[in-house]
Structure 1
C-alpha cells in the first residue's frame, strides 16, 4: 500500500537512531505491517536495515538475535548440537502465516513489536526465557524479560521512540528438552493456540508457555511434571479476560485446546524420561 502521508524516509540513520525521534516517525525494518494498512499519523520512516546490526551472534552465554534479523536468516541458522531447544527456532519460523517473499523482509523485531497474540517470535523468545534490549531516545538502555514485554493484543511496554535493539536467548534455555503443540483452522492458517513445554536436561520440571490463545503470553512453571488434575487447576486459574477471541477461535475453544495440548506435552516429556 502507498503511504501517501510520508514526506521523508531516513535511509542512513545514526548509530543511535532514537536521538532524532519525533512524533510522526516510525521505525522501518521489514515493513510488512507498515505497508499493509493505512498509516495516517505517520510523516517519516526511519530505515533500520542500514544499521550494521549482526543478525545472529552465538556466544558462550547463548544467542544474540538482532532486531533486524529476517525470518529467512533465522530459519536458515544452524544451531550447535548442544542446543537441543534449537528446533523451536525452525518450528516458530514455520508458524508464520506468510510466503517466502515475506520471510525475506519480515524481521524478528518487527514481529515482536507488533505484539499480536499469534506472533511466533513472541512464542519462541518467551519459551526460551529471552531478554529484550530496548533503546530509548535519550540514549538510555533497559532490559525486559520477553514474558513482560507484550501486555495485550497489539500492546507492549515500548515508550514513544523506544526501539528493540536485540534479543538475548540464554544458553541454559537452549539446552532444554522441548515439546510443542500448535493448532490452526487451516493448514497454513494463523495460530489459534501455540504451546511450548521446556524441561531441564535430566530434570522433571516443566515450564509451559501459552501463546496465540491468549492476549498476552503466559508462562506456568512446575517443579515436577504435573498430573492432569494439577495441570487443569493451574490452567483454569488463568483469568477469563486473558483468553483471546477472533475469527480463529472463541475463548472457550482456545481454553479447551490449551488443556488438551498441555496434557499431550506433559505425556511427551514424561515418555522422553522413560526412553
Structure 2
C-alpha cells in the first residue's frame, strides 16, 4: 500500500532527532499493509548491517531485530539445542507467504505487539531478553514477557529502538511442547501455548500467547499435577485478559488455553508419575 503521507526516508545509521510522525522501517510488512496517516518519515534499518543471528561465547543466541523469519527458520541449530524444533514451529505459525517470510523481521513482529505474534511466543517461551536503545544511545534490557503489556502496547519509549533479542543457552537446552489453534485452516492463531522443561532442575514453564492480550508466563519449580496447573492458569489470567476479535471469542480462547496447558503438562512430564 502506498503511504502517501510519508515525505521523507532516512538512513538509520544517521543519527537524527526523533520527531512526531517518525517510524522505524524494518521489513515493512505491517507498515505497508494498511493506511498509516499519522506517518511523515520512515527511518530505514535495512543498511544497519546487523548480523542476523549470532551465537555468543556463552552459547546464547542473539537475534538482531532485522533478522527475517526465513533467516531464523533456516539457521542451522546445533544438536544440543533441544529447543531447536520450536523455532520452526513458531515460524510456521505465521502461515505466511514466501514474500512475508523473506521480508518480515523478528523485531517487527515483537514491536507490533499483536497477541498472535509468533516471535513473541518463541522468544518469551525461551526467556528472551530485549536490548533497547534510546535516541541518546542509552541501552536497557527488558524480558520479552514484560516487553508487550497489552494488545499492540509495548514498553518502548518514543524513538526507542529494539536492537536485538537474546535467548540464553540454558533455555535452548530445554525440552519443549507446542500447541496452536486457529478458527480457520489458514487463520491467525487464536491460542498458542508453549511449555518448556529444564533438564537441570526439572522446572516447568508454560507460556500463553495469542489467546491473551499479553504473554503470560507460569513457572513451576517442579511439574504440577493437573489440578494445580489449572488453578495456576486460572489465577494468572484475568477474564479481561483473554483477547476478543474475529479470530476467536474469549470463552473459546480460554477453553483452548486450559486444554493446551494440560496437554503440554502431560507431554513434558510423561513418565514422571504425575
TM over 0.5: yes
For 2:165, which of 149, 164, 167 is the aligned residue? 167
Asked if 1:136 corresponds to 2:150, the answer is no
Runs of 5+ in structure 2 lacking a partner?
Answer: none
Matched with 2:218 is 220
Q: Report what 1:5 is aligned to.
A: 5
Is the Cα contact below 8 Å between 2:13 and 2:47 reproduced in 1?
no
How many residues get paired? 271
Q: Secondary structure at the match of 2:232?
A: helix
SS at structure 2 position matched to 1:45: strand
Q: Distance in 2 between matches of 1:248 and 1:4?
A: 30
Aligned residues of 2:126 and 2:168 also touching (Cα < 8 A): yes
- Indicate the SS of the match to 1:187: coil
* Runs of 4+ off more than 3 Å: none
Q: Pairwise mapping of residues 97-176 of structure 1 onto structure 2 (< 5 A)?
A: 97-176=95-174
Shift of 1:46: 1.0
Distance across 2 between alignment mates of 1:64 and 1:159? 22
Contact preservation (8 Å) 2:128, 2:166: yes
- Mark the CA change 1:83 to 1:272 in structure 2 (over 3 Å): closer, same or farther: farther
Aligned partners of 1:80 and 1:209: how far apart in 2? 24
In the aligned structure 2, how far is the partner of 1:180 from the partner of 1:106? 22
Matched, 1:81 2:79: yes
Deviations 1:46-65 (A, max 9, x none): 11011110000012331000
Please state whether the residue corresponding to 1:129 is helix, strand or coil.
Answer: coil
Q: Unaligned regions of 5+ residues in structure 1, if any? A: none
User: Aligned match of 1:30 in 24, 27, 30?
Assistant: 27
Tell me how far apart the structure 2 counterparts of residues 217 and 236 of structure 1 sit (CA, whole Å). 15
Distance (whole Å) between structure 1 residues aligned to residue 95 and residue 244 of structure 2: 18
Partner of 1:49: 46
Q: What CA RMSD, in Å, does the superposition of the two structures yield over aligned residues?
A: 1.3
Deviation per CA, 1:144-203: give whole Å up to 9, x if none: 011100010010100110010011100000000111111111222111110011011154
Deviation of residue 13 (structure 1)? 2.9
Paired residues for 1:167-186 under 5 Å: 167-186=165-184
Q: Would you say the 8 A contact 1:205–1:225 is kept in 2?
A: yes
User: TM-score by structure 2 length?
Assistant: 0.95
Q: CA deviation at 1:273?
A: 5.3
Distance 1:243 1:114 in 2: 18
Asked if 1 retains the 8 angstrom alpha-carbon contact of 2:115 and 2:211, the reply is: yes
Residue 239 of structure 2 is aligned to residue 257 of structure 1: no
Whether the 8 Å contact between 1:60 and 1:171 is mirrored in structure 2 is no
Is contact 1:136-1:162 (8 Å) kept?
yes
CA offset digits 1:222-260 (Å, max 9, x no partner): 122111111111111121111111112111111111111
